Structure 1
Amino acid sequence: MTPPPVDAPAGVEALPLPGASTLQRARRPGIHGRGARLALIGPAFVACIAYVDPGNFATNIAGGSKYGYMLLWVLLGANLMAMLIQNLSAKIGIATGKNLPELCRAHFPRPVTWGLWVQAELIAMATDLAEFVGAAIALNLLFNIPLLPSGLITAVAAFGILGLQSRGYRRFELAIIGFLAVILLGFLYDTLRIGFDAGEAAKGFVPHFDGSDSILLATGILGATVMPHVIYLHSALTQNRVQATDDVERRLLLRFNRIDVSIAMTLAGIINMSMLIIAASLFFGNGPDVDTIEKAHAGFKELVGPSAAVAFALALLASGFASSSVGTYAGQVVMQGFIARAVPLAVRRAVTMTPALIVLAIGVDPSKALVISQVVLSFGIPFALVPLVLLTRRKDIMGALVNRRLTTVVAGFVAAIISALNLFLLIDTFGLI
């Protein structure tokens, strides 16, 4: 018997569940968990679309154009961090039946909770800036639509994608997976058309920097890859997807979740590395730096051909449409969880997309705005990651799924590295050293 849909966060459509029998089928002889894996795969793909949003295009292209393959090691490290972080976020939802913002509200003092909410809302605006500007650029490149109308079209598209939730969580997830496939195929096509020096690319996995500008770009890449809002969202996607009745079933859910995260984040990593490798192969050392998406598109068209430029623009459009809908979903989870309030989706979207529309309206360089937005996002990562580590290490909250000591140490080290990198960037930017 299939249980009724579990209540979703206020302001977000309730998502019907695959049914309690999913876990039972996974444990029946002869099935070997295959059917359950298919039923449970999905949340990480929704989360991973934020790891390949338009901000990634801007930072990866800028990094590859200016420094060649040098920052590939940053992408690899960021992707490994993402796997750890998203596993912890998903685990907290499975273990507690609550999402990360709800747990922060329950276990932290009210001033701390409100402070976390305020910074999360600011991060949501920076996220929207990247997503809207990226999709607007893509529409402009493909159809010559002016940037401001393109931003409004993106808002409509985001609402349309979110509307699929009313027909069940699977339709929404499949739509996001479809967009991810477009992005992946676009960059695989361009990579195969362009080719690259594998030996030189391998040297990019040796950690090193080349001045403070490379650290700025590395921080932007980190902010574009490890996204604060999906640290909150992933816990909401798993919190009541399947109702486990005991610790054995929770561990089974956690095992399937690890498969989900591993596949999704590996695909995201391949896409991000392809972006940087393509930019390095085409643009590094070949004249002025290609530091904007528009210049990259023109470079594809001139150096490779129109089909490569179209593949690039379509990947960017898919990224902008999908990530903007996921960002709206995450924003609702953040507000409901931290302060137990919700506003109509249209109002929320209007508020968070306003900075992006202002940027498009007044003619600010959109690609530069994208890179700066990713640096802002990087500063928001510790405010999501530190609470996640503090809560997942507590047995009274996590029960049998509490972190092992090694997991807590590694996650704490990741938070410290990100915080130190941001502090160095802040000091360097304001000339304090």
Structure 2
Amino acid sequence: MAKTESLSEVHQSVNTDKRKGWRRILAFIGPAYLISVGYMDPGNWATDLAGGSKFGYQLIWVLLMSNLIALLLQSLSARLGIVRGLDLAQASKQAYPRWANIPLFGLAQTAIIACDLAEIIGMAIGLQLLFGLPLIWGISITIFDTILLLFLLNKGMRAMEGFIVSMVFIVGISFLVEMFIVEPSLKEVAKGFEPSILNGDALYIAIGIIGATVMPHNLYLHSSLVQTRKIERSNKGIKEALKFNLIDTTVALNLAFFVNAAILILAAAAFYKNGLHEVAEIQDAHKLLSNIFGNVAPTLFAIALIAAGQSSTVTGTLAGQIIMEGHINLRIQPWLRRMITRLLAIIPAFFTILHYGENALGGLLVLSQVVLSLQLGFAIIPLIHFTSDKKLMKDFAIKPWVKVLAWASALAIIALNVKLVIEEISGWAKEANNWWIYVIVIPALILIVLLLLYVFFHPLIEKKRNASKQLVPHGNALDIGKIDKISYKRIGIAVDFSKNDRNTIRHALIQGGKDAHYYLIHIVETAAARYLGNDVMDHETQSDAANLEKYRANLEDLGYDSTPFIGFGSTGKAIADISNKNEIELLVMGAHGHKGLKDLIFGTTVDSVRHKVNIPVLIIR
């Protein structure tokens, strides 16, 4: 049966009913900590280092403002997941037509890849700083974190949350120790919380800080992760869940703010105060820390960078799953989804190093943040629409003052990110041989802006139509009605001459009885069979033909009619070809029983066959 829940592997896997008092609050703690790592990824590090080294403590208030906006939007995301039981991608699928969901999925997936690119670069830089590993080797190693993700998924939601919290703890402790080493001026830090007029480079870096702080994939992720908690579906239970998740979000995001502030303060105290105003590269920061403070601070810096990159990678993968399943209802194996995303992110990193050299990775990091900024509006605008809708959210629709704050935040973020994108494109346009700006980039941006306008206006125009839509991912259950007996006259039986054949044949005979005709199917998979097909007459083929004849004769003695068929080459394709050619009405197959690594090596015949035939397939274990 298809699973319709968001992150169905861990949906409602954490029970909250049996806990009381502070233990009950702890049962809800976790989702926001997974979200918080997105606010501490290498993209944030780059903007924080640039801001601290160039302007000292002046931009701390921008960090605080960004954190407050993020807190508001993440609380809306959690509200959507708790009240409607849908993640942001599923809600978008219901609210917008399919033609719009496809580009929405494409943009969201691009943002995931851009985010993953930042994690790859950060992880590779961390490994280089700590072990002297070349960046290209560090990037290659990041492929293997797929294994870590699968391990964590198999261990359950709490194990994954424990891993992420541990990584966040390592990052926090590393910077806490470094803060004691650099000894910042508390008076000047406090002064940095006073808002100041921004212009020129300060405005540009401030835009970068905001763009790197509020990340679109976190909004998708949070709306899904809150559904891992099993709650009472009453007004009281939902109110309690909203309250505890707000506490979780507030604490986690404030911790993320302190880490980001610590990076900025570290850069201000270590570099700005020493006249080093142009530290924007993570590698530069590490080298300068080593020159100023010895080996302890840069080592802690590298460890924190690796921890931040690894934890952000895990959450980015989960967000990719949510977006794919929600927008286009496509479910693939976690390891395959992870590998595809990682490879798509590694390709530009490899190309940049090989073509432009290792020093160009800093520019690629900035570009990844620009791509993220393009996606922000497509996540924020629907989120505010959905949580404002009284017909769908009922008593839990956001209040007017919250709506005003949310739209003001959305407008500010989108305007600032648009400014960032325009400035980046203007810079590219000044370069020589820039025809691709006018042929590819600008037309793509025009289409993106038109889609953004559609995303904003569609829910306002189509409110009545949206309210009547089904509120479940796969529609409502049908009336089954009268059940007529189905009689199969042509039944295929796939055999492999193993001990499982007896059970497979027995179940097939039960389905059709003595009135049906049975087609005994076996596929020869030798190298010769794959090349020569029907012309092969090797020992295995002759032996298999003799075995099939024994089955046929045995069935004839029992009063059943059957015909043996031997196929050659690819098992799935050959079984499907024989079934289609003989107009078989039911196919009975034995499950091979492969698990884990064997499935990757030997493949899954059952899956291959069922996608190539349009008849019922009965799988026997």
> Which of these residues, 83, 90, 95, is aligned with residue 78 of structure 2?
90
> 2-side partners of 1:83 and 1:373: how far apart?
23
> 2-side partners of 1:52 and 1:79: how far apart?
12
Residue equivalent to 1:403: 398
1:373 is matched by which residue type in structure 2?
S
> 2-side partners of 1:200 and 1:428: how far apart?
31
> 2-side partners of 1:249 and 1:361: how far apart?
55
Q: Which has the higher contact order (CA 8 A, sep 6+)?
A: 1
Q: Does 1:23 align with 2:17?
A: yes
> 1-side partners of 2:45 and 2:303: how far apart?
12
2:366 is matched by which residue type in structure 1?
V
> 1-side partners of 2:421 and 2:37: how far apart?
28
Question: 1:59-95 deviations in whole A, cap 9, x for unaligned?
Answer: 1001111111121111001111111111111111000
Residue equivalent to 1:277: 265
Contact 2:167 2:308 in 1 (8 A): yes
Q: Paired residues, what number?
A: 418
Q: Does 1:391 align with 2:386?
A: yes
Give the C-alpha shift of residue 271 in structure 1.
Answer: 0.2
Question: 1:12-36 deviations in whole A, cap 9, x for unaligned?
Answer: 74356122xx23644xxxxx3x111
> 2-side partners of 1:25 and 1:293: how far apart?
44
1:390 is matched by which residue type in structure 2?
H
Closer, same or farther in 2 for the Cα pair 1:15/1:310, shift >3 Å? Answer: farther
Residue equivalent to 1:350: 343
Question: 1:369-422 deviations in whole A, cap 9, x for unaligned?
Answer: 223322332332221111100100012222222111111111111001111212
Q: Does 1:320 align with 2:313?
A: no
Q: Does 1:377 align with 2:381?
A: no
> What is the aligned-residue identity percentage?
37
1:14 is matched by which residue type in structure 2?
V
> 2-side partners of 1:14 and 1:411: how far apart?
30
1:167 is matched by which residue type in structure 2?
K
- Three-state SS of the structure 1 residue aligned to 2:230 is coil
Q: Does 1:420 align with 2:415?
A: yes
2:344 is matched by which residue type in structure 1?
V
**Residue ranges of structure 2 left out of the alignment (5+ in a row):** 430-621
Give the C-alpha shift of residue 245 in structure 1.
Answer: 2.2
Q: Does 1:174 align with 2:175?
A: no
Give the C-alpha shift of residue 423 in structure 1.
Answer: 2.9
> Which of these residues, 229, 232, 241, is aligned with residue 229 of structure 2?
241
- Pick the structure with greater CA Rg: 2
Written as runs of structure 1 = structure 2, the 5 A alignment for 1:254-269 is 254-269=242-257
Give the C-alpha shift of residue 337 in structure 1.
Answer: 0.6
Residue equivalent to 2:294: 305
Residue equivalent to 1:198: 186
Closer, same or farther in 2 for the Cα pair 1:142/1:186, shift >3 Å? Answer: same
1:244 is matched by which residue type in structure 2?
E
Give the C-alpha shift of residue 426 in structure 1.
Answer: 3.9
1:356 is matched by which residue type in structure 2?
A
> 2-side partners of 1:296 and 1:384: how far apart?
33
Give the C-alpha shift of residue 361 in structure 1.
Answer: 4.2
Closer, same or farther in 2 for the Cα pair 1:50/1:361, shift >3 Å? Answer: farther
> 2-side partners of 1:279 and 1:244: how far apart?
47
> 1-side partners of 2:57 and 2:88: how far apart?
36
> 2-side partners of 1:293 and 1:389: how far apart?
35
1:87 is matched by which residue type in structure 2?
S
- Three-state SS of the structure 2 residue aligned to 1:23 is coil
Residue equivalent to 1:29: none
- The 10-residue stretch of structure 1 (277-286 or 358-367) with the greater mean CA deviation from structure 2: 358-367
Give the C-alpha shift of residue 288 in structure 1.
Answer: 5.0
Written as runs of structure 1 = structure 2, the 5 A alignment for 1:353-368 is 353-362=346-355, 363-364=357-358, 365-368=360-363
Question: 1:200-240 deviations in whole A, cap 9, x for unaligned?
Answer: 22232233355332222212211221111011111110134
Residue equivalent to 2:500: none
> 2-side partners of 1:360 and 1:48: how far apart?
30
> 2-side partners of 1:239 and 1:105: how far apart?
18
> 2-side partners of 1:129 and 1:148: how far apart?
13
Normalising by structure 1, report the TM-score. 0.91
Q: In angstroms, what is the RMSD of aligned CA positions?
A: 2.0
> Which of these residues, 176, 187, 191, is aligned with residue 175 of structure 2?
187
Bigger share in strand: 2
- Three-state SS of the structure 2 residue aligned to 1:190 is helix
Contact 2:12 2:230 in 1 (8 A): no
Question: 1:79-122 deviations in whole A, cap 9, x for unaligned?
Answer: 11111111111111000111000000001223332232121112
Closer, same or farther in 2 for the Cα pair 1:168/1:143, shift >3 Å? Answer: same
2:161 is matched by which residue type in structure 1?
E
Question: 1:333-377 deviations in whole A, cap 9, x for unaligned?
Answer: 111111111343223432344333433444252223223322332
